[in-house]
Amino acid sequence: MWIESAILQDFRNYTQQRVDFSPHLNLILGDNGEGKTNLLEALFLLSTTRSHRTNQDKDLVRFGEQFYYVGCKVNKKNHTERIEVGYSLERRQKIAKLSGVPLARLSELIGVLNVVLFSPEDLELVKGSPGGRRRFLDIFLSQLRRGYVGELQQYNKVMAQRNDCLRLIQSRRFAEDVLCSWDEQYAKLAVSISNIRRQMMEDFAPQFQAFAQRISGRENLTVKYSESLAGMDEISLLRRLETLRPGEIVRGTTSLGPHRDDILFLIDGRQASLYASQGQQRTAVLALKLAELSYLQHATGEAPVLLLDDVFSELDEIRKEALVGVISGEVQSFVTGTRDTDLNLMQGTGNPMKRFVVEQGRVM
């Protein structure tokens, strides 16, 4: 799939902008702070309904304005689709439309436009907190499977209610047996989410390993799903929750479930979060993104769009070449860079490309 065009209105530092893209390579050039990342952020939002930089839509509204609007036209294998997202500051409301039809839920948008984003913050993925890795997993899965987001939202809701209940028992406002009614729903959702994640990761791990091998043949880099439930079914989880109950009541939090999961990166069997060098972390993240792209492409039958924000300046020649290999293929890509970014490698891809220069929220 590829994005034919996009419109940004009062989004970040853009006032009113329309851009027509190339189905292949799009180079977005400009000095620092001119609006390159903002443009990719708009495309990411049209894919996932959220920004990759903030949880607050108010940050996205151009200073002094009341709402933002972003839209794009996506060209898919057999048809095109129009995606629109708008947010009103006053009403604190975000709405999405698909080819003109308002959606009852924002999450229905996910999976229409699939993107893989690689930005400098991702380089923290290996050594950073598990939350970032779970987020990666969830965005990946939500693009892969319709219904995953809904189930995850349900899980989070039930867990929050269960936690409220634990605190009320702690303060003796609830009797302990109230918890049982939450436990069953909770266990069902927890096991289901874990199963989905486990199956996907088992499938994904060999592809990750192969990409890592291609980028850096020196060490053996693998990835593993580290699962809080460790293969438990609903019945064994319920039993486990019973034994954990006194501790959970004291802490007021649920101690077992997919919200505690992690992705483990291993270098020759050792935990990368503890031992990886800068270069090894870069290899791991790059392999993760390239494998995600290839996996999405094969599973959905269409290549996702690749968004590369500022990563060229962060990678060495070998890793750059691995990226260029992908960009030369059928994938539509957006690559940002400043005047100083060495983009020579790109010129050799042979694919037609479009160059854009961004200046103070204007694309030229």
Where do contacts with Mg ion occur on this chain (CB under 5 A)?
Answer: 37
CA-based torsion, 272, 320, 214, 145: positive or negative = positive
**Could you say which of 55, 56, 63, 175 contacts ligand ATP (CB under 6 A)?**
63
Q: Which range binds ligand ATP by CB under 6 A, 60-68, 81-89, 92-100, 261-269?
A: 60-68
Structure tokens belonging to residue 248: 């959970």
Stretch that binds ligand ATP, among 54-62, 107-115, 195-203, 217-225 (CB under 6 A): 54-62
Query: For the chain, how big is the Rg over CA atoms in Å?
Result: 22
Contacts with ligand ATP by CB under 6 A: the residue count is 16
CB of 51 to ligand ATP, least distance (A): 10
Site for ligand ATP in 9-28 (CB under 6 A): 12-13
Evaluate whether 193 touches 258 at the Cβ level (below 8 Å).
Answer: yes
By CB under 6 A, tell whether 62 contacts ligand ATP: yes
By beta-carbon proximity to ligand ATP, the closer residue of 60 and 276 is: 60
Name the binder of 32 from ligand ATP, Mg ion, none, CB < 5-8 A by kind.
ligand ATP
Q: Which of 24, 36, 50, 282 binds ligand ATP (CB under 6 A)?
A: 36
Q: What does the alpha-carbon distance between residue 291 and residue 36 come to, in Å, rounded to a whole number?
A: 25
Q: Give long-range contacts, CB 8 A cutoff, 24+ apart: 227-234.
A: 227/194, 227/197, 227/198, 227/258, 227/261, 228/194, 228/256, 228/257, 228/258, 228/259, 228/260, 228/261, 229/190, 229/191, 229/194, 229/256, 229/257, 229/258, 231/198, 232/191, 233/191, 234/187, 234/188, 234/191
Residue among 323 and 363 whose Cβ is closer to ligand ATP:
363
Q: Virtual CA dihedral for 89, 109, 193, 175, nearest 10 degrees? A: 40
Q: Would you count residue 52 as binding ligand ATP (CB under 6 A)?
A: no
- Strand 101-102 to 115-118 pairing: unpaired
Give min distance, CB of 354 to ligand ATP, in A.
Answer: 17
Quickly count helices (H) and strands (E) in the chain: 9, 15
- Applying CB under 6 A, among 15, 16, 20, 33 the residue interacting with ligand ATP is 33
What mask, x for binding ligand ATP by CB under 6 A, covers residues 319 to 358? -------------------x--------------------
Nearer to Mg ion, 43 or 200 (CB): 43
Residues that bind ligand ATP (CB under 6 A): 12-13, 30, 32-38, 59, 61-63, 310, 338
